[in-house]
Structure 1
Amino acid sequence: MAELNMPSNGGKPSRIQRRNRGLILEAALDVFSRYGYRGATLDQIAEQAGLSKPNILYYFDGKEAIHVTLLNQLMDNWLAPMHEIDPQGEPLEELLRYLHRKLEMSREFPRESRLFANEIIQGAPRIAGHLDEVLKPLVDDTAALIEGWVRAGRLAPVDPRHLIFSIWATTQHYADFEVQVDVLMPEKAAQNGATEFLDRMYRRLLTPEPG
């Protein structure tokens, strides 16, 4: 993948180079999240960024290079909340904190969520290795942690992987189906009730029965 062109003296990228690269990635995120990888074009990205197509190609080899850069950045940020689950913490509160952060991210980064969803729907051709080498070990470790909490009676019996999938589905829905949510629940104040609703639902699901 092409990286930012470096100055001939081997120094750091200039302020303008960093600015232009940021403009390209921001524009590409918007274009890819709306049209998907197949529907997006370099011309659309260039127009959105306010740069010429040759200028885009100065910084990146092509559309795929931009897309992979965005996905790599996304995966690092997207997985951070799962890394932050504390094995020494209170199990229910740790999982609810994870739920809350995923819901916050769906509100803060809807384009990133749709970018990832589009990549998965297409068969993950550009991040299959990342899913296998990074995501799977992390989910395996988290599932093992949840299983341990269940065995210790600190959580109600639950399949850990289905629990993780469910949290992803219920939180990222608000980003991936944002247009539908806005039609069915146009009042933003009403949408804010998602946190309370999901907290109550998962708290009931995961709280062990007395005794």
Structure 2
Amino acid sequence: MKIDETLAAGAERETQAQPLRRRKAHIRSSNEAHLLACAEAVFAERGLEGASTAMIAERAGLPKANLHYYFPTKLDLYRRVLEDVFEEWHRAADSFESNDDPVEAIAGYVRAKMELSRRRPLGSKVWANEIIHGATHMQDILTEAVKPWMETRVAMIDGWVARGLLAPVDARTLLFMIWALTQHFADFDAQIVALAGKRALSKKAFDAATEEVVTLVLRACGAKRQGKHSAS
């Protein structure tokens, strides 16, 4: 009987502790997300070498010690930003898995990448700056994550070409073109704004640019819907 009572009491304490643990986990997750967003902004503005954890902590409105509680070093934080950017770009390619129609799949991917450039331009700039400087801190991300991810898309594109649903394009070149077009709107937004004579592209203008990019990409690769013989 005493054993049963002890087990019951333990179970009750465990049940009571669960909401507290969930709250702590939520707070930790929120704090990490806030620090990552602030780090992304500072790294985009200053680069890895020019940024410091003191700058990031100041941007976050937190003591530097709090930042180091979550991320022991500046490089740990930088890597997390790069990994998070890749994970979002990875999810943007879901249209390749969910649709075997090249028009729908490629158009969906382009729209998702354009939306990320609109919504998260700073992350794109951090990624681009790292690549420009030799990808020293993300070679493993490129070889172990980006390359396998890319090869699955290459296989799908090659399959569409073999079925006559795309023009005989080089799959890797097509993907590089999509990345260059979509990420240009994030990495070179200052140039776009200056040449457009506006302070910033409105949501309406960005949506219009997105559809123009979609049309150009589909036309360039000669994408056809399944069962149709005319280019979309």
Determine the structure 2 residue equivalent to 1:58: 69
Q: State whether residues 87 and 145 of structure 1, in contact with CA within 8 Å, keep that contact through their aligned partners in structure 2.
A: no
Write out per-residue CA displacement over residues 152-210 of structure 1, whole angstroms, 9 at most, x where no aligned residue. Answer: 11111211100000000000000001111111112625444312321221222223665
TM-score under structure 2 normalisation?
A: 0.78
Determine the structure 1 residue equivalent to 2:208: 193
The reply on whether 1:138 has 2:134 as its aligned counterpart is no
Q: 2:223 aligns with which of 203, 207, 210?
A: 207
Change beyond 3 A, Cα 1:17–1:135:
closer
Larger proportion of helix: 2
User: How far 1:20 sits from its partner (Å)?
Assistant: 3.4
Counterpart-to-counterpart distance in 1, 2:30 and 2:211: 40
Determine the structure 2 residue equivalent to 1:117: 128
Q: 1:108 aligns with which of 119, 129, 140?
A: 119
Structure 1 unmatched ranges of 5 or more = 1-10
Determine the structure 2 residue equivalent to 1:3: none
Determine the structure 2 residue equivalent to 1:36: 47
What is the root-mean-square deviation in Å for CA atoms of aligned residues? 2.2
Counterpart-to-counterpart distance in 2, 1:51 and 1:58: 11
Change beyond 3 A, Cα 1:95–1:41:
same
Q: 1:159 aligns with which of 167, 170, 179?
A: 170
Determine the structure 1 residue equivalent to 2:4: none
Counterpart-to-counterpart distance in 2, 1:87 and 1:109: 24
Change beyond 3 A, Cα 1:14–1:137:
closer
Letter in 1 for 2:186: A
Q: State whether residues 92 and 155 of structure 1, in contact with CA within 8 Å, keep that contact through their aligned partners in structure 2.
A: no
The reply on whether 1:75 has 2:86 as its aligned counterpart is yes
Corresponding residue pairs, total: 201
The reply on whether 1:126 has 2:131 as its aligned counterpart is no
Write out per-residue CA displacement over residues 110-152 of structure 1, whole angstroms, 9 at most, x where no aligned residue. Answer: 1111111112112222221111011111111211211111111
Change beyond 3 A, Cα 1:15–1:81:
closer
Change beyond 3 A, Cα 1:56–1:198:
same
Q: State whether residues 57 and 64 of structure 2, in contact with CA within 8 Å, keep that contact through their aligned partners in structure 1.
A: yes
Counterpart-to-counterpart distance in 1, 2:128 and 2:180: 11
Structure 2 unmatched ranges of 5 or more = 1-20
Q: Which has the larger radius of gyration?
A: 2
Change beyond 3 A, Cα 1:148–1:16:
closer
Q: 1:47 aligns with which of 58, 61, 78?
A: 58
Change beyond 3 A, Cα 1:20–1:152:
closer
SS of corresponding position for 2:97: coil
Q: 1:96 aligns with which of 81, 93, 107?
A: 107
Q: Which moved more, 1:84-93 or 1:145-154?
A: 84-93
